[in-house]
Amino acid sequence: MLAMNYRGPRRVRADQKPMPEILHPNDAIIRVTRSCICGSDLHLYHGLVPDTRVGMTFGHEFIGVVEEIGPSVEKLKVGDSVIVPFNIACGTCAFCKQELYGNCHESNPQATAVGGIFGYSHTAGGYDGGQAEFVRVPYADVGPTVIPPGMDHDNAVLLTDVVPTGYQAAEMGGIKAGDTVVVFGAGPVGIMAAKCAWLFGAARVIVFDHVEYRLEFVKNYANCEAYNFRSIEDPVLFVKKTTDWLGADVCIDAVGADASGDAMQTITGKKLLLQAGSATALHWAINSVKKGGIVSIVGVYGPTDNLVPIGNVVNKGITIRANQASVKRLLPRLIEHIEAGRLDPKAMITHRVPLEEVADAYHIFSSKLDNCIKTVLIPPSARR
Amino acid sequence: MENLNNDYTHIKGWGIDADPKNEPTYPMKKYTGDDHKRLNWDRPPLQPVNIEVLHSTERPNITAVFGTSTPPSGLSGAIRRYAFQFSENQYMHWLPLLLADRVNVVEGIVDDLKRGHIPNIFAERGMKAELKHNPKGLAKRILVTVAVTSIAYAILKGKSKKR
């Protein structure tokens, strides 16, 4: 089968690889019909995540058709079209039972801090991902959800990660009616977080980024204010001035390890790898939020350390809330939002690329060429 | 409040202000009390271990399922095995893994050549897309690379002449 093949930082290609097999009674094999490149895939692509091995297939945002099921699978049948959450969750450990599906303790032997994630290095379990024609999906009775009849599959594929992550970013912000919410990052997750902030009653939503076409998009798509941090001297000071000098009620870091905007963070985090990526967005979020405010983090960082102003967290009495999105928990509500027209995620898709051209697709997304916001890869078998 | 076996009645006011709604993980976490049962959940059936799986020293066993992509091999594999002797808390876990990743890139090129495949690094880096969407940027990149290489070559040549 054809699959994306990681060859090193900024080097990927499409190769023929062996078909995945059922390795556990509750496995399913899914024939992928759409997969996305996530902003967090770029952390892998840029070589920022430890234990990213050459030969791995990335991809944790995918939907497809059930091709084969293991002997204990009861909730899926061959031929079902399914949304596959990016979290691999057993459904039985203490964390899954409490709906912390992003924190499963039975899916990642390599690290205890994160549950298993498809195609996200061995630090997240060593699973090949969905940027392929076929993929092995463990715990098939737990995560995969049948796509509701009539749902556009472009919307469905974005329910695997970007929509739940953006929504949970807003949810973790504990937004109260009347709050001012600042989102750092106008990538797909930041765009969705801005959109969802309104669902929780925000009175004002402000987004920062440095990519003009994305700022233009988020301003229109999420009805928010959008500013280029490169054209203002200091985004933190800007937030203070525009909030009567107090700071935002809620700040969301929707960028993570690849943030731009601070030379020191960029050099130590992205060039020298002395910290787990650049923590510029988180730094700004902590300093922009009001005393007693909430910082919500969904941006992905590596597992080592980051330079952030932790003293200000203490002195300002900030609450930090963070997690990988618990996709399965959120899916029913998000499907309602899409069916009711409150969310329209597919509008973020700018590029549909054949899987064979995965190298170009990664480069376009990484370098923000051709006004790229969200890329969907289409395997050859899904184009027939 | 969940019903604990321990008796805290001798502690005046114990738990009086407990409020699940005043909980930083609410509403992300649905409290069931399973946390306090520790590691005693009914484990799913275990995936047979037919490949080498490195596991964190911060857990007692391999998880019920695991990925089978790219088991450790070669020099990078040896470095990874070393790294997994240390907990996730230590730099000696993560820094060798980053080193192993870089060594693995060289191993990947050697493997390609062994299989008679010369990697098209230009294509793998998406330069076709760069040429299409950012030709000026590509030209600039090529010019900078040529200039840096030429300067380095000139310096090295100058040094060898002096000897």
What residue ranges do the domains of chain B occupy?
120-163
Q: Are both A145 and A198 inside the same structural domain? A: no
Cα angle B34, B36, B39 (rounded to 5 degrees) comes to 80
**How does pLDDT run along chain A (384 residues), one tens digit per residue?**
999 999 999 999 999 999 999 999 999 999 999 999 999 999 999 999 999 999 999 999 999 999 999 999 999 999 999 999 999 999 999 999 999 999 999 999 999 999 999 999 999 999 999 999 999 999 999 999 999 999 999 999 999 999 999 999 999 999 988 999 999 999 999 999 999 999 999 999 999 999 999 999 999 999 999 999 999 989 999 999 999 999 999 999 999 988 999 999 999 988 888 888 899 999 999 999 999 999 999 999 988 889 999 999 999 999 999 999 999 999 999 999 999 999 999 999 999 999 999 999 999 999 999 999 999 999 999 987
The answer to whether residue B40 scores a pLDDT higher than 90 is: no
CA distance A28 to chain B (A): 13
Identify the pLDDT of residue B157: 86
State whether residue B149 is helix, strand or coil. helix
The answer to whether B69 contacts A8, with C-beta atoms less than 8 Å apart, is no
Residue B115, chain A, CB below 8 Å: the answer is: no
CA distance B154 to B137: 26
Q: Which of residues 14 through 33 in chain B touch A, CB cutoff 8 A?
A: 24-25, 27-32
Same domain, A146 and A179: no
The total number of structural domains in chain A stands at 2
Residue A92 sits at the chain B interface (C-beta within 8 Å): yes
Same domain, yes or no: A278 and A174? yes
Q: What is the pLDDT of residue A50?
A: 95
Q: What angle do CA A67, A68, A69 make, to 5 degrees?
A: 135
> Between A111, A127, A359, which is nearest B125 by CB?
A359
Query: Domain span at residue A29?
Result: 2-161+326-383
- Both A245 and A139 in one domain: the answer is no
Query: Are A217 and A258 in a shared domain?
Result: yes
Note the pLDDT of residue A8: 97
Please identify, among A322, A345, A367, the residue that sits at the C-terminal boundary of a domain: A322
B26 pLDDT more than 90: no
Distance, first Cα to last Cα, chain B? 81
Domain end, chosen from A278, A297, A322, is at: A322
The reported pLDDT for the residue numbered B7 is 80
The C-alpha atoms of residue B49 and residue A124 are separated, in whole angstroms, by 18
Measure in Å the smallest separation between the Cα of A113 and chain B Cα atoms: 8
Report the CATH number at residue A281.
Answer: 3.40.50.720
Shared domain for A57 and A198, answered yes or no, is no
Q: Which residues of A touch B138 (CB under 8 A)?
A: none
**Cα distance between residue A25 and residue B27, in whole Å:** 33
Count of CB atoms situated within 10 Å of the CB of B160: 8
Output the pLDDT for position B102. Answer: 97
CB nearest to A303's CB, from B34, B88, B119: B88
Residue B5: predicted pLDDT: 61
Tokens describing residue A20: 């995945």
Q: In the predicted model, is pLDDT for residue B2 greater than 70?
A: no
* B125 Cβ under 8 Å from any chain A Cβ: yes
Q: Is A50 on the interface with B (CB under 8 A)?
A: yes
User: Buried (b) or exposed (e) across A242-276, using 16+ Cβ within 10 A?
Assistant: bbeeebbbbbbbbbbbbbbbbeebbebbbeebebb
Please tell me the distance from the alpha carbon of residue A364 to that of residue A272, in angstroms, as a whole number.
24
Looking at every residue in chain A, the average pLDDT score rounds to: 96
Q: Which two tokens stand for residue A279?
A: 């923590």
Kindly state whether B42 is in contact with chain A, defined as any CB-CB distance less than 8 angstroms: yes
pLDDT single digits (tens) B74-95? 999 999 999 999 999 999 999 9
User: What value does the mean pLDDT of chain B take?
Assistant: 90
Predicted pLDDT of residue A302: 85
Q: Are residues A12 and A155 in the same domain?
A: yes
Q: Are A84 and A123 within one domain?
A: yes
Q: Are residues A214 and A106 in the same domain?
A: no
Gap between the Cα atoms of A91 and A75, Å rounded: 13
Instruction: Report DSSP state, residue B78.
Output: H
Last residue of a domain, one of A304, A322, A340: A322
Average pLDDT over residues B126-150: 92
Question: Does B54 sit within 8 Å of A109, measured CB to CB?
Answer: yes
Are both A196 and A276 inside the same structural domain? yes
Nearest-Cα distance to chain A for B147, in Å, is 21
Q: ipTM score here?
A: 0.89
| Cis geometry, peptide bond prior to residue A235 (ω within 30 degrees of 0) | no
**Are A173 and A118 within one domain?**
no
Size of interface A-B (CB pairs under 8 A): 199
Instruction: Please give the order of strands across the beta sheet that includes A319-322.
Output: A225-228, A204-209, A180-184, A248-253, A289-297, A319-322
Mapped to the 3 state alphabet, what secondary structure does chain A carry? CEEEEEEECCEEEEEECCCCCCCCCCCEEEEEEEEEECCCHHHHHCCCCCCCCCCCCCCCCEEEEEEEECCCCCCCCCCCEEEECCEECCCCCHHHHCCCHHHCCCCCCCCCCCCEEECCCHHHCCECCCCECEEEECCCCCCCEECCCCCCHHHHHHCCCHHHHHHHHHHHCCCCCCCEEEEECCCHHHHHHHHHHHHCCCCEEEEEECCHHHHHHHHHHCCCEEEECCCCCCHHHHHHHHCCCCCEEEEEECCECECCCCHHHHHHHHHCCCCCCECHHHHHHHHHEEEEEEEEECCECCCCCCCCCHHHHHHHCCEEEECCCCHHHHHHHHHHHHHCCCCCHHHHEEEEEEHHHHHHHHHHHHCCCCCCCEEEEECHHHHC
**If 0-12 CB within 10 Å is exposed, 13-18 middle and 19+ buried, where does residue B125 land?**
buried
Yes or no: say if A350 and A376 are a contact pair by the CB < 8 Å rule. Answer: no
The two three-digit tokens of residue A209, written as one number = 């980024």
Q: How confident is the model at residue B163 (pLDDT cuts 50, 70, 90)?
A: low
CATH code where residue A89 lies: 3.90.180.10
Residues 6+ apart with CB under 8 A from B78: B72
A115/A78 same-domain check:
yes
Q: How far is B160 from chain A (nearest CA, A)?
A: 31
The pLDDT confidence band at residue B122, using thresholds 50, 70 and 90, is: very high
Of A220, A169, A162, A223, the residue nearest A345 (C-alpha): A162
Residues A358, A131 contacting (CB under 8 angstroms)? yes
B4 has pLDDT over 60: no
Q: Of all residues in chain B, what percent carry a pLDDT higher than 90?
A: 66
- The continuous run of DSSP H or E covering B142 comes out as helix B135-162
In the prediction, which pLDDT does A144 show? 98
The span from the CA of A30 to the CA of B134, in Å, is: 36
> How close, in Å, is residue B58 to chain A by CA atoms?
7
pLDDT at B25: 76
